[in-house]
Structure 1
Amino acid sequence: MSAAVRRVALLVVLLMGLAACQVDIEVGIGFNEDGSGLVTVDVALDQEAVALAPDITSLLLIDDIEDPASGWSYNDPRIDDQGRTSFSASKPFGSVEQLESVLSEIFGSEEVFRDFTFERATSFAQTDYRVTGVVDLSGGMDLFTDPQLTERLGGEPLGQPIPNLENALAGVTVRLVLDLPVGAEQEETLELGQGAVSIEMTAQEESGTAVTLRWVAWAAFALLGLSVLIAIAGYLLDRRNRSRSIDPTISQEPLVRSTSSAAVQPPARRLRLVVLNPLGVLFEPSDEPSQLLVDFAAERGSEVDAETVDQIHSQAVLGRITPAELWTGLGLDDDPAELTEQYLDQYTVRSGARDFVAEMTRRELPVACLTNDIASWSSALRDRLQIEGVDTWIVSSEVGVCMPAPGIYEALRRTTAVPYENALLVDVRAEHLDAANALGMSTALLAESRPQGGDAPGHAVVTSFSDFFRRRPRS
């Protein structure tokens, strides 16, 4: 059923009851931290409107929305706390550009919701969010009518005088609800026929950790200043006492030598945990999974571009969409389970991987895996390739954060209870190692070959698992 037919169905309800019926249309836009999110449309009809059109359920928001290709998800009708019958549907978006495309499907016009922006600015102790846009309902009843049908009916939509239609549309309320990642929702109530309205919402999130660190830093400076004052006072008192009690002819050199101790050496690091990124370290190929998905989709006739694949894959490894939704987004309509099995078939165990993990087990050194992956895919690879001896698996879709974001390394630290400075991360991605190194972890880059000349990546470089067991020459 076309969007025009659904709009006509809604208008029929209004015409039968004119101003006696009440219809509320709520458009909700919920944003995630990266600018993706979910659009929700809720149409609420009062009892009089439903009584006038008992079959409205089959006309409003159903056929097109239940079509998987449309991307919309439809919820069964429900009775709200005001006794109205509510119909709702939702559709995700991955960017502001996709948001405007989704919004244009609601009224069949790109002019109603336009010029939307999403901004996220992060400083030391806070994150600021800002969203802006324009809502233009000046189309009035044209938003619900079909131009071709109006022409056939002699210029009167649905064969009714325009004043009657305008009276009916007076019973329609449109509400826009914005929801940023933090703070309360913002609601804007609009009227059909109303001109363009600029929308703006801001929110601010203070990092509890950052604020605490800031106070700790101030406290540390204060304590440092106090300790300096105490040291100076002690020095002056000691000097005064010595001038009174010590013979000035006695040399002070032995005293100076005895109180000037050697610099304290930092304790040597003790390795307590080996962390591996299974995608590339334990399992081959080591290519970026998003690039493997581009090639996989192209082999099956999909023309989806690499940027779209990267966005969809990012949502999947964050746990925001299912594998089935990923395959649909890539334009592949085959059975999702079969597609997943075919995709995972390309992975094999890297040479020496099983022996390396077994040797770590023999040395009583725990092994953990840290990966940007979909949980069900990661579990399937473990079952398929059978590598025994890995004690802990941290999968991005289960913790909701990916490398190189600090949160996933913190999830590893909390799960294993091993400090960063006692852990070694082995990965094929330098950006993952850079983030780990900044937190204090030891790092090793597993590469196809050793860097040439000035191309050193800032991490230890190994080309095979056997490199970990080579004896270093004595200096």
Structure 2
Amino acid sequence: MRRVGVSAAARRVALLLVLVLGLAACQVNIEVGIGFNEDGSGLVTVDVALDQEAVTLAPDITSLLLIEDIEDPASGWSYNDPRIDDQGRTSFSASKPFGSPEQLESVLAEIFGSDDVFRDITFERTTSFAQTDYRVTGVVDLSDGLDLFIDPRLTERLGGEPLGQPIPDLENALAGVSVRLVLDLPVGAEQEETLELGQGAVSIEMTAQEESATAVTLRWVAWAAFALLGLSVLVAIAGYFLERRNRRRSTDPTVSQEPLVRSTTSAAPQPPARRLRLVVLNPLGVLFEPSDEPSQLLAAFAAERGSEMDAESVEQLHHQAVLGRITPAELWTGLGLDDNPDELTEQYLDQYTMRSGARDFMTEMARRELPVACLTNDIASWSSALRDRLQITGVDTWIVSSEVGVCMPAPGIYEALRRTTAVPYENALLVDVRAGHLDAAHALGMSTAMLAESRPQDGEAPGHAVVTSFSDFFRRRPRS
């Protein structure tokens, strides 16, 4: 069905065709571009290009295209100034956005003034785990030929001639016009279709696919995980059968236990697997006295200064501080103490003194060139202040819970020690006053020794070597 009112864009195209077709021997190229967004909206662009001969024969065509009664700002079309392309042609273009595939058909109808040229336009977008698929379909019908460009109002304006002047050779005029349709999908895919005036209905279809880089990566990671799982199962099975075979060979008297290849040189003696390379001390209780649980010592200190917080609450607050989650000032405030935080810290740390024999022990470790590390659940600034106060020397590494964010007996703090010192667990000895800390270290493979006030009675053995003074280390070897 032909529209009664033709838009400014359609009148522009019609006027251009009138002039070019009237010249017959000249060429005009019409390009209709449709660019889609992901949601089905987009932009229609109409580009009409004339060769130099056409412009020479109709020098005032530019002014005809820009006269006020043809330009219609309310139509929604945007017009660009005429330009010269790289082939020497003069091009005129207009564009108009659309919000949906349905609205697209009405915008396209304005180009030729007919609902029948572009019809049944569809836009589909489907998504799956790793990709998005796009599909555009429709029909383009240019069978009306030159009738598409005849406008009664324009005919009257041009003196009664439907195309501005008689066309003696209609076939030649049609040959001078080309129509190109360009579809552009969101993934950057583009498809072109060249059509001819007078050509019947042509079905168009375009598909494109976009893969999600993140989803593809996850898919490959999943495949790799399955492959590693399968490999680990195979390795486990192979190890099981090898172990069975070795056990069978070791118990079979008919199988020689001699090595298959004898060494021609004597093997160098190997050092024992558990050679001690690092002594680890918990300074709170080992280097410093008293050996009370720090949270209990803190609770008694706070109670003496008027805090009404119960022991369990103090322990929870202290735990947050030694994990580095609250500052010392926030700890004192939480305990309900309003005195100067620095002064409270000074008074609290005044309770600690150096344990008897500790300095001699450190000197002996240095003489034996045996490194010493400290591992402690403490606030970093408090630990540093105690080192300065008591003039601690000879410690190569300090691992403080508030700096690593984990406390003994959690495995993470022992792992921080291992990584920092590069000493395997089996080559390290931990000396502590708390059985829980020693139990966790022993489970990881460390040698352990408990520093206690007295030796345990029968049936009270804590599962670790027990020493009552530093001199015990030089009289006996702690049990691993």
Task: Calculate the TM-score normalised by the size of structure 2.
Answer: 0.47
Give the number of the structure whose alpha-carbon radius of gyration is greater: 2
Task: Calculate the TM-score normalised by the size of structure 1.
Answer: 0.47
